[in-house]
Amino acid sequence: MAACVALLAAGPAGAVDGPAITLYRHATLIDGTGGPLRPAMSVLVEGERIKAVAPDAELTAPAGAKIVDLTGKFLAPGLIDSHEHLATPPNRRAAEANMRRDLYGGVTAIRDMADDLRSVAELARESRAAEVPGPDIYYAALMAGPSFFVDPRTHAANFGVEPGHAPWMQAIDAQTDIPNAITLAKGTSATAIKIYANLPPDLVEKIAKEAHRQGMVVWTHSAIFPTTPEEVLAAHPDVTSHTCYMAYQVVGVPASYQARVPVDPKSMIGGDNPVMAHLFARMKAQGTLLDPTLRVYAEDAERFAKNPKGRPPLCPLDLAAALTRQAFRAGVPLSTGTDGIAPATDPWPTVYDEIALLVRKAGLTPAQAIHAATEVGARAAAQGADMGTVAPGKLANLIVLGRDPTADVENLKSLETSIKRGRAYPRADFKPPTEQELRDAP
């Protein structure tokens, strides 16, 4: 027993007595607020947090501090992927390979948008303790109508439990004790309730209201079938996902998730649609963020181009991009969620695709897209107090780049070092997936 106590007291592998102190000097700072570049800046890190941010001339290295010279380099907040799925179904090798790629590619936090939380919670704990390299994970427990749980993904994420009856994926109907259901979900250590599909407006509103009462945030699909986007927004979600689902407000919402049909873009091409303008104005007014997931629509288009006889995309990429552009111009904050994982052979995180699509297709500047992936991403994950910008008191989640990403987002691939909670992960140390991981990965 004494040996066990000693091991516990020692903390995670690599821990040292007292917080390490590092001074990053002579950097061009991208602070995550969306403001201009700040040349000749220093950032002092003590332990896992930022102690000070100031011009070089105003910040002196404390005694014993490690000094890192970033002359000619760019220092920015760590990136945040606001829509990943790590465990549907659970596959530890594949999840760890993706987490490693994320972290060594500059992603220091993610939102996991509903999976088998037995697996996700352990991955989150291990990453938080630096036992495995990966971003911090903030995850959702899912709620949907009983008819949704014929979906095979719910069976994959509930092995050993009847789908709809696990605390992390619950079937909700008019007889459900919603306060108890939220309490059960909260017991999984989830950050949020994700309201998914096949629920009427009154239940969507009751779930959201109770989740907020119990101190949880609410993440939703932007249409919940048959609940319309406008009715979803009436429930005051904190973040809503999938731009093109909002188009169902114009063309009509299918009765269920399973009955989704392709969106006809005719009435939404050639200028800002007034119905969408109303929705986006409401989102701005109540502070609801949009997780566009443009990569989903790009992936669907690519799949259909390879197999035109297959299932057509639910939404054209150009329409999703146009609506995202309209939302952004209306003042709706955008995050960078991918809702997918690139092939295991891709050396860079999937969020790079989403950032690039926001620039190339939705018309954001590189600086605006980086802001979406940092400060707005932190807010999407309900972690704005701790991350997303480079400021005193925030976690030391940073990336060091050799070239300016606000000039060209492709310069994110000049990444030299990721720093998560003060711990450095040099890109040169990145190990590509093993043969086994390649076999196991999606």
Q: Which domain holds residue 276?
A: 79-380
Report whether pLDDT(142) > 50: yes
Looking at the domain assignment, is residue 437 inside a domain? no
Same domain for 49 and 34: yes
Same domain for 408 and 298: no
b/e burial code for range 391-415 (CB count within 10 A of at least 16 → b)? eeebbbbbbbbeebbbeebebbbbb
pLDDT score recorded for residue 8: 38
Residues 176-212: tens digit of each pLDDT = 999 999 999 999 999 999 999 999 999 999 999 999 9
Amino acid at 97: A
- Residue 438 — pLDDT band, cuts 50, 70, 90? low
Looking at the domain assignment, is residue 6 inside a domain? no
Looking at the domain assignment, is residue 404 inside a domain? yes
pLDDT score recorded for residue 345: 82
Residue that has been written with the tokens 């899912």 in this structure: 142
Same domain for 413 and 336: no
Looking at the domain assignment, is residue 4 inside a domain? no
Structure tokens at 76: 């920015």
pLDDT score recorded for residue 4: 43
User: What value does the mean pLDDT of the chain take?
Assistant: 93
Same domain for 125 and 26: no
Number of domains, the chain: 2
Residues 206-256: tens digit of each pLDDT = 999 999 999 999 999 999 999 999 999 999 999 999 999 999 999 999 999
pLDDT score recorded for residue 314: 94
Kindly state the percentage of the chain with pLDDT values over 70.
94
CA distance 99 to 103: 6
Same domain for 94 and 23: no
Alpha helices in 73-142 (DSSP H): 92-104, 117-128
CATH code of the domain covering residue 161: 3.20.20.140
Same domain for 123 and 24: no
Amino acid at 15: A
Report whether pLDDT(6) > 70: no
Asked if 331 contacts 289 with a C-beta cutoff of 8 angstroms, the reply is no
Range from 17-26, 240-249, 288-297, 317-326 carrying the lowest mean pLDDT: 17-26
Same domain for 252 and 210: yes
Average pLDDT, integer, range 37-44: 98
Residues 271-286: tens digit of each pLDDT = 889 999 999 999 999 9
* CB count in 10 Å sphere of residue 56: 15
Same domain for 341 and 315: yes
* CB count in 10 Å sphere of residue 307: 8
Same domain for 400 and 376: no
CATH code of the domain covering residue 55: 2.30.40.10
pLDDT score recorded for residue 207: 98
Amino acid at 430: F
Let me know if 270 is exposed, middle or buried by CB neighbors in 10 A (0-12, 13-18, 19+).
exposed
b/e burial code for range 334-350 (CB count within 10 A of at least 16 → b)? bbbbbbbbbebeeebbb
Predicted structure pTM score: 0.94
Residue that has been written with the tokens 């003060």 in this structure: 422
Average pLDDT, integer, range 67-79: 98
Looking at the domain assignment, is residue 185 inside a domain? yes
Report whether pLDDT(145) > 70: yes
Average pLDDT, integer, range 17-27: 90
Looking at the domain assignment, is residue 286 inside a domain? yes
Looking at the domain assignment, is residue 172 inside a domain? yes
Same domain for 399 and 303: no
pLDDT score recorded for residue 2: 43
Asked if 247 contacts 276 with a C-beta cutoff of 8 angstroms, the reply is yes
Report whether pLDDT(9) > 50: no
Asked if 139 contacts 117 with a C-beta cutoff of 8 angstroms, the reply is yes
Structure tokens at 175: 């007889």
pLDDT score recorded for residue 271: 81
- Residue 433 — pLDDT band, cuts 50, 70, 90? confident
pLDDT score recorded for residue 268: 87
Asked if 336 contacts 355 with a C-beta cutoff of 8 angstroms, the reply is yes
- Residue 12 — pLDDT band, cuts 50, 70, 90? very low
Same domain for 65 and 166: no
Structure tokens at 37: 């570049």
Closest CA relative to residue 339, chosen from 328, 320, 353, 358: 353
- Residue 19 — pLDDT band, cuts 50, 70, 90? confident
Average pLDDT, integer, range 120-133: 97
Looking at the domain assignment, is residue 143 inside a domain? yes
Same domain for 190 and 314: yes
Asked if 319 contacts 248 with a C-beta cutoff of 8 angstroms, the reply is no
Structure tokens at 301: 């288009």
